[in-house]
């Protein structure tokens, strides 16, 4: 699309947006009584207005039925993990058997790594992107230590080339091939939390498998943001959280994907618990764990109903909107943001966009690397009512979310960003002349 740098054009895009009605279905935050420009759906998604009634249903059933709610609630609690399967499967490109909502992301990462990271004396290395999210780094380190492997030796972290900010797919594939004799696991954040890069899941998975390793992905920034095809691409496992693009609320229930080819593999070591045990005799309380088929067999504890209810509210909106339609809008929305930022980026001593410029290699987030006065500009944005986020050491992440952000908001954001830089520049200049 040929974008134009004008408010009139932004309004025109909003008017013709087929998904525009979805914004009304969310609570839009106000700070100090003033509506914010909310661009942090990559950190905490907004609350659907329907969430309260989903929660109220379970609170009412709990009040009315007590323990009987397990079988007789409107949505019987015993089977609650099943109610989100269809939509979650659609979002990650999986069969319902392959997905389950459970726990939190890092817990699921440990559960998956317990099964899919089984090093041998010769094949023991984990290959990942450098600068992975801290919690993932801690999990990798811990898993290596569990197997008495020095993390310095066991972890291969890939850095972008000198002067570049994102990884080239060819470099990832070459590294996998280079270390193929020693690799036990290849694992990437599907959409990198800092740079916003959307990695090539298909190519990485194929290369990892050619090398003889298992391949997994952290989908924290990918699920609900970009369409995925985990089953087709034969990814072994994936984990995600639901408080970002899935709008399931702070600390919302996470999830996991295990490929169908592992569905009945009882040889895989796992950290078992009663909710993963075969449903038909779970309450027999007998010795001897028998895993449920598919991802359900990795469940450990019983399901957190209130958290799951909040997730169902948002998943219903994804069903209505459709991830492909959302992605179509998202490409436009982020493309517009990039176009406007580029109009002020030229020769800017203040910032560059480090997220890939090819829409296929990013989700909705753009990461703006501040070369100068980053914190000052960020503070000025916040004062002007923009909720974006700051990631150390010097990145402002901006995520226009197609379910609730508008083209007009993107236009307003870039205007405020431009003004914040000008004000910072002017105050720097006056300080220098005072000195």
Ligand X SMILES: Cc1ncc(COP(=O)(O)O)c(C=O)c1O
Q: How far is the CB of 339 from ligand X (least distance, A)?
A: 27
User: Among 185, 190, 254, 354, which residue sits at the site for ligand X (rule: CB under 6 A)?
Assistant: 254
| 218 is a site residue for ligand X (CB under 6 A) | yes
| 213 is a site residue for ligand X (CB under 6 A) | no
Rounded Cα gap, residues 245 and 220, in angstroms = 8
Of the pair 45, 189, the CB lying nearest ligand X is at 189
Q: How far is the CB of 105 from ligand X (least distance, A)?
A: 3
Rounded Cα gap, residues 261 and 269, in angstroms = 15
Of the pair 96, 251, the CB lying nearest ligand X is at 251
User: For residue 249, is it left (φ>0), alpha (ψ between -120 and 50) or beta?
Assistant: left
| 241 is a site residue for ligand X (CB under 6 A) | yes
Measured CA angle at 258 (ends 257, 260), to 5 deg: 125
Instruction: Determine the interface stretch with ligand X among 119-127, 215-223, 308-316, 325-333 (rule: CB under 6 A).
Output: 215-223
Of the pair 218, 409, the CB lying nearest ligand X is at 218
Of the pair 354, 414, the CB lying nearest ligand X is at 354
Q: How far is the CB of 108 from ligand X (least distance, A)?
A: 8
| 194 is a site residue for ligand X (CB under 6 A) | no
Backbone angles phi, psi at 382, to 5 degrees: -60, -40
Instruction: Determine the interface stretch with ligand X among 72-80, 131-139, 203-211, 407-415 (rule: CB under 6 A).
Output: 131-139
Of the pair 43, 412, the CB lying nearest ligand X is at 43
Of the pair 40, 424, the CB lying nearest ligand X is at 40
Strand 395-398 relative to strand 389-391, pairing: antiparallel
What 3-state DSSP class applies to 352?
strand
Rounded Cα gap, residues 253 and 108, in angstroms = 11
* Best CA proximity match to 48, nearest among 191, 252, 196: 252
* Best CA proximity match to 295, nearest among 77, 115, 29, 144: 115
| 189 is a site residue for ligand X (CB under 6 A) | yes
Q: How far is the CB of 348 from ligand X (least distance, A)?
A: 28
Q: How far is the CB of 132 from ligand X (least distance, A)?
A: 7
User: Hey, which residues between 24 and 63 contact ligand X (CB under 6 A)?
Assistant: none
| 133 is a site residue for ligand X (CB under 6 A) | yes
Sequence-separated (6 or more) residues with CB below 8 Å from residue 21:
none
89-to-43, 140, 229, 334, 367 alpha-carbon distances in Å: 22, 26, 10, 25, 29
Give the binding-site size for ligand X (rule: CB under 6 A).
13
- Take residue 408 and report the two structure tokens written for it: 């007009």
| 137 is a site residue for ligand X (CB under 6 A) | no
User: Among 38, 193, 257, 378, which residue sits at the site for ligand X (rule: CB under 6 A)?
Assistant: 193
Of the pair 212, 250, the CB lying nearest ligand X is at 250
Rounded Cα gap, residues 237 and 258, in angstroms = 5
User: Hey, which residues between 99 and 128 contact ligand X (CB under 6 A)?
Assistant: 104-106
Of the pair 50, 135, the CB lying nearest ligand X is at 135
Q: How far is the CB of 218 from ligand X (least distance, A)?
A: 5
| 253 is a site residue for ligand X (CB under 6 A) | no
Of the pair 4, 141, the CB lying nearest ligand X is at 141
Alpha helices in 182-254 (DSSP H): 201-210
| 139 is a site residue for ligand X (CB under 6 A) | no
35-to-366, 387, 421 alpha-carbon distances in Å: 22, 10, 22
Of the pair 25, 362, the CB lying nearest ligand X is at 362
| 220 is a site residue for ligand X (CB under 6 A) | yes
Of the pair 88, 105, the CB lying nearest ligand X is at 105
Quick check: 43 and 389 in contact, CB under 8 A?
Answer: yes
Q: What DSSP element (H or E) covers 433?
A: helix 407-434
Q: How far is the CB of 135 from ligand X (least distance, A)?
A: 4
- Take residue 212 and report the two structure tokens written for it: 């003889």
In what order do the strands lie in the sheet containing 99-101? Answer: 99-101, 255-258, 237-240, 214-218, 183-189, 125-129, 155-158
| 129 is a site residue for ligand X (CB under 6 A) | no
Sequence-separated (6 or more) residues with CB below 8 Å from residue 252:
241, 242, 243, 246, 307, 310, 311
Rounded Cα gap, residues 416 and 131, in angstroms = 30
Return residues touching ligand X (CB under 6 A): 104-106, 133, 135-136, 189, 193, 218, 220-221, 241, 254
């Amino acid at each position: 699309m040929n974008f134009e740098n004008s408010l009139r054009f932004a309004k025109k895009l909003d008017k013709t947006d087929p998904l525009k009605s979805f914004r009304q279905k969310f609570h839009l935050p106000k700070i100090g009584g003033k509506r914010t420009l909310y661009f942090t759906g990559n950190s905490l998604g907004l609350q659907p207005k329907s969430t309260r009634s989903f929660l109220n249903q379970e609170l009412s059933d709990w009040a009315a039925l007590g323990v009987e709610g397990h079988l007789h609630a409107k949505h019987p609690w015993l089977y609650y993990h099943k109610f989100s399967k269809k939509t979650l499967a659609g979002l990650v490109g999986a069969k319902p058997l392959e997905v389950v909502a459970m726990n939190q992301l890092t817990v699921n990462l440990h559960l998956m790594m317990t099964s899919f990271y089984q090093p041998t004396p010769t094949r023991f290395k984990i290959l990942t992107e450098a600068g992975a999210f801290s919690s993932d780094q801690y999990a990798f380190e811990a898993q290596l230590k569990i197997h008495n492997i020095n993390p310095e030796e066991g972890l291969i972290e890939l850095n972008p080339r000198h002067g570049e900010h994102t990884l080239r797919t060819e470099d990832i594939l070459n590294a996998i091939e280079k270390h193929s004799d020693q690799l036990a696991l290849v694992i990437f954040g599907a959409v990198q939390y800092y740079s916003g890069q959307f990695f090539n899941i298909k190519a990485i998975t194929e290369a990892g498998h050619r090398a003889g390793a298992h391949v997994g992905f952290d989908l924290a920034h990918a699920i609900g943001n970009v369409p995925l095809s985990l089953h087709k691409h034969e990814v072994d496992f994936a984990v995600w959280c639901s408080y970002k693009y899935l709008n399931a609320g702070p600390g919302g229930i996470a999830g996991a994907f295990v490929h169908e080819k592992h569905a009945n593999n009882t040889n895989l070591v796992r950290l078992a618990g009663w909710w993963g045990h075969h449903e038909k005799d779970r309450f027999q309380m007998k010795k001897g764990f028998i895993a449920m088929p598919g991802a359900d067999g990795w469940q450990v504890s019983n399901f957190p109903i209130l958290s799951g209810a909040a997730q169902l509210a948002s998943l219903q909106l994804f069903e209505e909107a459709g991830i492909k339609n959302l992605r179509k809008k998202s490409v436009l929305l982020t493309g517009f943001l990039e176009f406007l930022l580029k109009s002020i980026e030229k020769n800017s001593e203040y910032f560059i966009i480090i997220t890939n410029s090819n829409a296929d290699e990013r989700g909705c987030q753009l990461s703006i690397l501040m070369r100068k006065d980053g914190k000052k500009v960020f503070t000025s944005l916040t004062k002007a009512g923009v909720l974006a986020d700051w990631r150390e050491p010097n990145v402002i992440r901006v995520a226009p979310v197609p379910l609730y952000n508008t083209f007009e908001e993107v236009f307003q954001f870039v205007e405020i960003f431009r003004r914040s830089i000008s004000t910072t520049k002017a105050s720097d200049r006056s300080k220098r002349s005072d000195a």
